[in-house]
Structures are given as structure tokens and as C-alpha cells.
Chains A and B, each alone.
Chain A
Amino acid sequence: MRAKHTRAVTAALLGLGLLVTGCGPIAFQDTVNFKLPEPEPEPEPEVSHAKVEGDHIVIDEKIQFEFDSAQIQRRSHSILNDVIKVMEANPQIEELDIIGHTSSEGSKKHNQELSRDRAQAVKQYLLDHGLTEDRLTSQGKGPSEPIADNDTEEGREANRRVEFKITKMGEAPADAAAAPAEGDAEAKGGARGRPGA
């Protein structure tokens, strides 16, 4: 009888225990992650193909033409565009002479005409893209002024070139910071440089 009573009490306590634990709060936790967007990469600074050096506008790549032709290849347009930017940033350059040169390969007469036609084609491109006639001249010098040895292909390649010579330079503008005489397009203007003239 006593054992029966004990079992009954135990069962009752168990039942109550279940009731209590079944009603207690249940703890849990979680983390929600958000990600910041990747920052936009800084744009690559534009490097100009042209700059003023002394009495020349120097370009870092050759102007390319179609074979035996005065047709300017499209890939050279960016170089000429940079020449235009330099001219626009330097209004004190009153006259620029565009000079075509060739190697000694072929006849002198043919080379003379080719160099003249090529210089004229470059001048025309500059005129078509904003420069004025009064600031530009052009001429062909054929093979008469080599800068390398015509006996090697490398030398001949170097001699086939277009030269930009400043033949008339005026006074620099009063605001020297706006239009420096030397320097490339980076220094002249754009998002990272001083404003141009």
C-alpha cells in the first residue's frame, strides 16, 4: 500500500514537472549578416600620348599609315587627339609644322610625295577635329632627315615618322597655372589636374 502511494506521488510529480518545463520560455539566438557593397574601383588615370618638349610636341607612339598610302590607321587617332589636346591647352603655340619623313627605301620622288601627303593627311585630321588653319603647316621631307641607320630595318622603321615642330611660340597666358608651357594632358586638365587655359 505504501509502495503504491509512492508510485502515485512520483507519477504526479513527474506530470507536474512535465507541465512546468513544457511551459517555460525557450531561448535561442541568431545572426543576420549584411554586406557592404564593394567600393567602385578608381578609374585608371588617362595617359596622354603627346606632350610639349622644348620646340616639339613629342608623341610616344608612331602615327601609323596604310602601306604606301597617306591613309591614317584608326589606331593612331588617339595619338592625334592628344596632340589636339596639347594644342588646345597651349594657346601660346601659334604655329605647328607637321613634317612627314620616310626611309630611304624606294625612289626619292615617291618618298618625297608620300611624306608630303602623309603630313597633309595629319594636318587635315587636326583641322577636322577642332584646330584652326592659321596654327598649322605641313610639309614632306622624304628621306632627307634620317634619325637612324637606313641600312637596317629597325633604322628604316624609325625614319618613317611624322614630326610635330613648334615653329612659332607666343607669350604664355597671364595665368601661368592655367596653361603651362610644358607637361602632358594630365597636368593640363581633367578630374585630377589643374584647369586648362
Chain B
Amino acid sequence: MTKTNRLPQLITCGALALMTSACIARGPDDYRQVTRSLVDTKQAEIESCFGEQPASVVVTFTVEKKTGKISNPTIDSAKSDAPDEVGECVVAKIDGLALAQPDMRDGAATFTWKLSN
């Protein structure tokens, strides 16, 4: 009797099982939209961070895969032209926000808030 190596099939099935488990797997645009909706809940507060001069703040952050939480928000100083306190204010408003339905993957987000004439 010939022994059959079932290991590759087991690995494949395991992978497929994991992929079809409870987590949502969004595409980039869907992930962007839900994250946008999340940060927009603080839109008025974020807008109040800005003064009366045109300025922009670019923030990179992670949307954590298991919790949906925004973490590690960091101002991209090279791309931002707002005063430091404006950037810090924006970061403070979004830090800790969480998606109601986390994704199975981390989101690597870059968001720009821009005040213009």
C-alpha cells in the first residue's frame, strides 16, 4: 500500500479555512471609505484645530486588524505645512477611534486634512 502525503492538502485547506473565517477582508477603497467615515465623526473638532490661514496636515496611521482601532498616528512633517500645534490637535482627535467592524488586515492609512480659501 502506498502512503499518501496529505500535508500539502491540509495546509491548503487550513489556509482557506482561515481566509473564510469571521474577519472582513476589504479592498483598499472600501477600507478607505470606512476609515474616512470614522474620522469624519470628528470632522467639526478637527476643523476647529485649524486657524484662519490655509494649511494642511498629513497624518499616517495604522488601523489595527483585530480591534479596528486607529493607532500610532504620526504627522508627516515633510508634507504638512500647518503649525505644530495644529498637527498635534488633529492627531489627538483621531487617536483611539475604532471601526465598528475591524478588518482582517491592518490598514496603512495616509490622511490629509487641508484648509483652503
Contact = CB atoms under 8 A, between A and B. Distances in A.
Binding between chains A and B: yes
B78 interface: no
Contacts of B109: 27-30
A169 B109 CA distance: 79
A12 interface: yes
A147 interface: no
Interface in B50-84: 50, 52, 54, 62, 65
A15 B40 contact: no
B35 A30 contact: yes
Interface in A1-43: 1, 5, 8-9, 11-12, 14-16, 18-19, 22-36
Interface residues of B, number: 47
Nearest to A31: B112
Given A15-B16, A26-B26, A33 B114 contact: yes
B19 A18 contact: yes
A31 B32 contact: no
24 contacts: A8-B8, A8-B9, A11-B8, A12-B8, A15-B8, A15-B14, A15-B16, A16-B11, A18-B19, A19-B15, A22-B105, A26-B27, A26-B103, A27-B109, A28-B29, A28-B31, A29-B111, A30-B35, A30-B36, A30-B111, A32-B111, A32-B114, A34-B47, A34-B116
Interface of A: 1, 5, 8-9, 11-12, 14-16, 18-19, 22-36
Given A23-B65, A25-B107, A26-B28, 13 more contacts: A11-B9, A12-B9, A22-B104, A23-B105, A24-B106, A25-B106, A25-B108, A28-B110, A29-B110, A30-B112, A32-B113, A34-B114, A36-B116
The 8 closest A-B pairs by CB, nearest first: A12-B8, A15-B12, A15-B15, A8-B8, A25-B106, A28-B32, A19-B15, A29-B110
